[in-house]
Structure 1
Amino acid sequence: MVVIDGRNLTLEQVYQVATGKAPVALAPEARERMASRRQGIEARLSAGEVIYGVNTGFGRMADVVIPPESLAELQLNLLRSHACGVGAPFPREVVRAMLLLRANVLASGYAGVRPEVVDRLLELLNAGVHPVVPSQGSVGASGDLAPLAHLALVLVGEGFAEYQGEVVPGSEALRRAGIEPLALAPKEGLALINGTQAMAAVGCLALLEAERLCAAADVVAAMSVDALEGTDVAFLEEIHQARPHPGQVASARNLFALLSGSQIRESHRSCSRVQDAYSLRCTPQVHGACRDALAHLRAKLAIEINSATDNPMVLADGRVVSGGNFHGAALAAAFDYAATALTDLASISERRSARLVTPEQSGLPAFLVPEPGLNSGFMTAHVTAAALVSECKTLAHPAAVDSIPTSAGREDHVSMGTWAARKLAMIVENLRFVLAVELLEAAQGIELRRPLRSSPALERALARLREQVPFLQRDRFLHADILKAAAVLGELSPEELLAAS
C-alpha cells in the first residue's frame, strides 16, 4: 500500500502504482489538512470575496465575476472546454502515474479542495479505471491543462476511460466500477488541471527506465571492449579519481570490475596497440555524464512530485493567492539535459556496434557471421541502430528554449515541458534498441573469440542473453532477436552480475 500525504512520495512508489503493483490510500493527516484548507475557501466565498478561478473566469477572463448559482457550472465548463487534446493517448502506466501525482498534489492542501476529490482519484486508480488522455495539446503552463482536463472529466462521468481492456464513456466506466460521479464544488475543476502532472508522469517513468538502461550500458560496453580486444587500463580507478565526476567514477569502476578475470583480455595484454578508440577508451566519461544528468533529473522530479503546483494557492494562514508554480521550466530544462546525455549514450553505443561489424577494426569476421557474403549477419541491425541514433539527435533539440504565447497573451511565456518529457521518453525507447543491437553484436563477438572466455560477470550476462537468443550461425529474422535482447537489458545490472560472480 502506498499512502500519500503530498510530501513524501518517491519515484519508486510512482513506478509501483503506475505498473499496478500497489494500491493507494490517503494519509489521515493529509485528509485533516485538506479539510482545514477547504474551510478557508468556503469562508472567503461566504464573505463575498472575489477569488480567481473560484468565482471568476479564467485566463484573460479573470476579471469576470461569476454569480454564486453558477459556480458549479463554471468548474464543469472548465473541464469540458480544456479537454481538447489530440494525438495518440498516453500509455496506461503514464495515466496511472498522472492520477497518482495529481492526487498527491491535492493532498498537500494548497489547492483547497475537499478530501473527497482525492478519494475519487484514488478510487479510479484502485479500481483500474484509466481515463483516455491524448498526449498532445499541452504547452506546460498553466501546467498540463488539456491532458489533466481529460483525466478529470472521467471523475464527473464524462470523457472516455479504459476499463478491463475496453474503452467506454466515462459514465459507463464509473458505473461498471461502482464509482459515483463527482459533483464539483467551487475551485475543484481548476484544482484538478493546474499543474505539471502529465510531464512529471512521463518524466518519472522515462527516468526510471533510463537509469536501468544506463546501468546495463556499462555491461554491454564491457562486453564490446572484450570482444574488440580492448584494454581495461583506461578504466583504472586512479585515472578517474583525478577527474572525480561521480558518474564517471562509478562507470569506470563498473567497467574495470566487469572485465576482471577475462581470458580474452589476458590473451592480448602484451600486444603492440597503444590506445583504444574513443568509443572504448572514453566510455566512462560518456556513460558517466549520462549518469550525472539522470541524477540531476531525479533530484528535480523528487521535488516536483511532492510540490504544490496549483493556482491560486490556499496558504496556511487562509489567504488565497495567485502564483506560477504550474510553470514547467524546472522540469523542461532537466528533461532536455537528460535527453542530450542519453542521445550521447546512444551515439557511443552505435560507434562500438560499428566497430564490431567492421573486420578491419574488430579482427572478427565481417558483420560477425561465420560465413560473410552468403550471410549478411548484423549488417542491417547496425543500420537500425544508426537510424535510431539520428532520430535521437533530432529529438534532443531542446524544447525548453521554445515558448509561444497563449490565452490571448495572458499566458505569454510557456515551458513546453510536456513536449520535453515526451521527447525524452522517445529517446529512452530508441536507446533501448540501440543498446540491444550492441548487446547482440558484443555477445556474438565474444563467442567468436572461443575457446577464450570473457570474465565471469560478462559470461553470466552472455548466458542470460543466450537463454533468449541463440548464437547467429546463419541469417535469420533479426527483428525478433532485437526485441528479445531489449528485454534482457533489464536483467543486466552491473552490481548484481558482479555479486553473482
Structure 2
Amino acid sequence: MTSIEITPGQLTLDQLRQIRAGGVRLSLHASADAAIRRSAAVVQAAAAGDAPVYGVNTGFGKLASTRISKEDLATLQFNLIRSHSVGVGAPLAPGVVRLMLATKAASLARGFSGVRPEVVQCLLDVFNAGLVPYVPSQGSVGASGDLAPLSHMTLALLGEGEMLVDGERRPARQVLEAAGLVPLVLQAKEGLALINGTQTSTALALEGLLRFETVYASAVVSGSLSLDAARGSDGPFDPRIHEVRGQPGQIEVAAAYRQVLAGSEIRQSHRDGDDRVQDPYCLRCQPQVMGACLDQARYCAEVLLREANAVTDNPLVFAPEGEPAYMVSGGNFHAEPVALAADALACAIAEVGAIAERRIAMLIDAGVSRLPPFLTANAGLNSGFMIAHVTAAALASENKSLAHPASVDSLPTSANQEDHVSMATFGARRLGPMLDNTAHIIGIELLAAAQGIEFLRPLKSSATLEQAHALLRRDCPPMPSDHFLAPSISAAKDQVDAGAFAGLLTQVTGLRVLR
C-alpha cells in the first residue's frame, strides 16, 4: 500500500487524487508536532483562565456572549457536535469523505487550531483503517464552516455517529472497536475546530474537478471523431490561428486535436474539391470552447488546492516559538473561494456538454453532416439516433439550469449573526449530477460518431480515432437497424467515467487537463 506523508500546507493535487481513490496510508511529518502542541497549550491555558474566549468557554454563534463554566467545557464540545449533526439526504461518496478526513487532519496539523496531536492522529487512524463516516450530503450553507456534514464526520469519531460499511449504515462505536480504535474524547475548542472549516465543500469540489479531468479528455476524443465522421476540415486547428489569440488552453487543446486527427484517410479523401467553405461552429470552434474550459478548470484547481491546504476554522491560535501567543477570531470558515470556483467549474462542465450535444444534432442532420438521416441506412423504418439526441438535449438543458451560480444566493442564519453565506456546499455538490449528464452526452456522441465513421468505410480515420472506435465497439455494438440502445449509452458512459478515452488522449498527445 502506498504511503503519503502529509506535510501541513503542502498537499499536492496528485496526493489528493490518491487520497480520493483510497488504498493509501497517511502519516504526518514529524515537523508538525511542535506547532500543534504549542497551539494546544494556548487553548488549555485559556480554558483554565477566567477571561471569555470564543469557542473555548463561551457559547457559539449568536450565543457567543454566554459564558460556560470550567467543569462544562468538555460537555460543551460534545453538545456542539451532537446538536450540529442535523444533515439530511443521501450520504456523501466514500472518496469525498476520505478527502474530508485527510484535509481536516492537514489543516489542524498546521498548528493554528489549538487541538491536541491526538485529534489529528484520530483522523489519520480512521482513514488508515479504511473507515468511512456516514455523512449526509445536505445541510450546509458553506459558512461558519460546513457545520452539519463535518459534525456527522466528527460524531463518528466520537463513537456516537455512524459509519458506512459496504453501503450500509452501522453504529460507529461497533465499527471503531472492530478496527481496534478508541473513540475520540474532546477537550476545549476541539469540537469547534473539527467542524469549523470548509473541508466538505472543498472535498466535493475536488471530487468534481477530478471527475471533470476524465470527462473533458473524453470530449476531446468524441469531438474529434465527430469532426471526421462529418468530413470536417482540420484547417481551424492550424497552430497559427491559436497563437495569434494567445489563450493558453486554446493553444494546447488545438495541438491535441491536431495530433488525434493526424493521418486520417477520411480527411485526405475530401481535402481537395470539398464544396463546404466552413464547418459549423460545433466542429470549427472546438479549440476556442474547449480551451476556455481547460483554462477555467486549471484556475479552479489552483483555488481548490490552496483551500485543501488552508486553515479555515475559528478562532485561530498564533503561537510562534519564543514569542507571545494569542487567539484571533476571523472568518476563514467562509467558503466563498470554493463557491466561486465551483460555479466556474459548473459553467465549464455545462459548456463541454452543450457543444457535444450540438455535434450530435449536427451528425443526425443529413443536410449538415452529409450522412444518412439520423445515422441509419433505412430512415423511416428505422429511427436511428433520433431520440438518443433528444436524451442528450434533455441532459444539456438540465445542466444549464444546474449551472446557475450558487454563490449569488445567501440566506442569513443563526438569528442573523451569520448573515452572508457562500452556498459553496451545494455549489460543489451539484457538480456530480452535472458530470453524470455530460458523461452521458459524450457517450451518446461517441456512439453517433462511430456510426457515422462506419458509413464512410472502407476509409479509415486516424490511428488514434480508430483505436477509440475499437474501444467503444468492445462494449457497444453498431446499430445498422434499430435495437435497444439504452444499454449501449450506459456502457459508453461507463467507458468515459473509467477513463478509457482520457487515457488514450494522454498517451497520444501528452495532454494533462490538471497539471
TM-score by length of 2: 0.94
1:461-492 alpha-carbon deviations (Å, 9 max, x no partner): 11111222222223233222112212322122
Amino acid of the residue matched to residue 102 of structure 2?
L
In structure 1, the residue matched to 2:213 is: 211
Q: Does 1:491 align with 2:500?
A: yes
Structure 1 residues 353-372: aligned runs within 5 Å: 353-372=360-379
Range 312-321 or range 398-407, more displaced: 312-321
**Which residue of 427, 435, 438 maps to 1:431?**
438
Structure 1 SS opposite 2:39 = helix
Report the Cα offset of residue 164 of structure 1: 4.7
Contact 1:203 1:425 in 2 (8 A): no
Q: Does 1:249 align with 2:260?
A: no
Report the Cα offset of residue 427 of structure 1: 1.4
Q: Does 1:52 align with 2:59?
A: no
Contact 2:47 2:188 in 1 (8 A): no
Structure 1 SS opposite 2:169 = strand
Contact 1:461 1:492 in 2 (8 A): yes
Unaligned runs of 5+ in 1: none
In structure 2, the residue matched to 1:275 is: 278
In structure 2, the residue matched to 1:40 is: 42
Structure 1 SS opposite 2:50 = coil
Range 370-379 or range 123-132, more displaced: 370-379
Amino acid of the residue matched to residue 495 of structure 1?
T
Range 313-322 or range 64-73, more displaced: 313-322
Report the Cα offset of residue 47 of structure 1: 3.5
- Counterparts of 2:240 and 2:313 in 1: how far apart (Å)? 49
In structure 1, the residue matched to 2:476 is: 469
1:144-196 alpha-carbon deviations (Å, 9 max, x no partner): 00000001001111111113553211212212222111110100100110011
Range 229-238 or range 48-57, more displaced: 48-57
- Counterparts of 1:133 and 1:498 in 2: how far apart (Å)? 40
Q: Does 1:119 align with 2:121?
A: yes
Structure 2 SS opposite 1:230 = coil
- Counterparts of 1:453 and 1:298 in 2: how far apart (Å)? 38
In structure 2, the residue matched to 1:480 is: 487
- Counterparts of 1:429 and 1:88 in 2: how far apart (Å)? 16
- Counterparts of 1:322 and 1:285 in 2: how far apart (Å)? 45
Range 394-403 or range 462-471, more displaced: 462-471
Contact 2:237 2:254 in 1 (8 A): yes
- Counterparts of 1:497 and 1:441 in 2: how far apart (Å)? 23
Amino acid of the residue matched to residue 115 of structure 2?
V
RMSD across aligned C-alpha pairs, in angstroms? 1.5
Range 346-355 or range 29-38, more displaced: 29-38
Q: How many residues align?
A: 500
- Counterparts of 1:165 and 1:180 in 2: how far apart (Å)? 23
Instruction: Using the aligned pairs only, state the percent identity.
Output: 48
- Counterparts of 1:323 and 1:301 in 2: how far apart (Å)? 20
Contact 2:304 2:341 in 1 (8 A): no
In structure 2, the residue matched to 1:329 is: 336
- Counterparts of 1:224 and 1:414 in 2: how far apart (Å)? 43
Structure 2 SS opposite 1:23 = strand
In structure 2, the residue matched to 1:21 is: 23
TM-score by length of 1: 0.97
Report the Cα offset of residue 44 of structure 1: 2.8
Range 72-81 or range 128-137, more displaced: 128-137
- Counterparts of 1:228 and 1:52 in 2: how far apart (Å)? 65
In structure 2, the residue matched to 1:307 is: 310
- Counterparts of 1:27 and 1:44 in 2: how far apart (Å)? 28
**Which residue of 4, 7, 10 maps to 2:6?**
4
Amino acid of the residue matched to residue 310 of structure 2?
S
Contact 2:46 2:56 in 1 (8 A): no
- Counterparts of 1:252 and 1:219 in 2: how far apart (Å)? 12
- Counterparts of 1:388 and 1:166 in 2: how far apart (Å)? 30
- Counterparts of 2:347 and 2:400 in 1: how far apart (Å)? 8
Report the Cα offset of residue 498 of structure 1: 4.6
Amino acid of the residue matched to residue 466 of structure 2?
E
Range 251-260 or range 396-405, more displaced: 251-260
The change in CA–CA distance for 1:187 and 1:230 in structure 2 (over 3 A counts) is: same
Q: Does 1:295 align with 2:298?
A: yes
In structure 2, the residue matched to 1:378 is: 385
The change in CA–CA distance for 1:334 and 1:432 in structure 2 (over 3 A counts) is: same
